[in-house]
Amino acid sequence: MIISRDVMLIAAVFYVRYRTLPTPRTLSKYFNPCYATARLKPTFISKVNTAVQLILVAASLAAPVFNYADSIYLQILWCFTAFTTAASAYSYYHYGRKTVQVIKGK
């Protein structure tokens, strides 16, 4: 679920980059960071999602050490992480035009 969300975000960024790049569009211009064409502003839920994912990774790595691998709290954290991931993906879909700021060429 997390990887799917990130792949969709990357695909959307590639699309926005292509659409906002001035013509003629070339590969060297496409991958040149000097041509800044758009800026992505993260949503609040995506920042929360990142924090929850980091907490989940730490808790999952610590679970065998502290013998709480089968804990209900760890399972709740997994479900909460799935929820925030889905909410983050939806927020980028729903507020897509508001989160991408196109930089006008000079």
Answer yes or no: are the C-beta atoms of 45 and 88 closer than 8 Å: yes
Kindly state whether residue 63 falls inside one of the protein's structural domains: yes
Tally of structural domains, the chain:
1
Query: In 10 A of CB 80, how many CB atoms?
Result: 14
In which domain, by residue range, is 27 found? 2-97
Kindly state whether residue 17 falls inside one of the protein's structural domains: yes
Kindly state whether residue 104 falls inside one of the protein's structural domains: no
The pLDDT tens digits of the residues spanning 48-100 come to 999 999 999 999 999 999 988 889 999 999 999 999 999 998 888 887 767 66
Q: What pTM did the predictor assign? A: 0.72
Kindly state whether residue 8 falls inside one of the protein's structural domains: yes
Percentage of residues of the chain with pLDDT beyond 90: 35
Kindly state whether residue 23 falls inside one of the protein's structural domains: yes
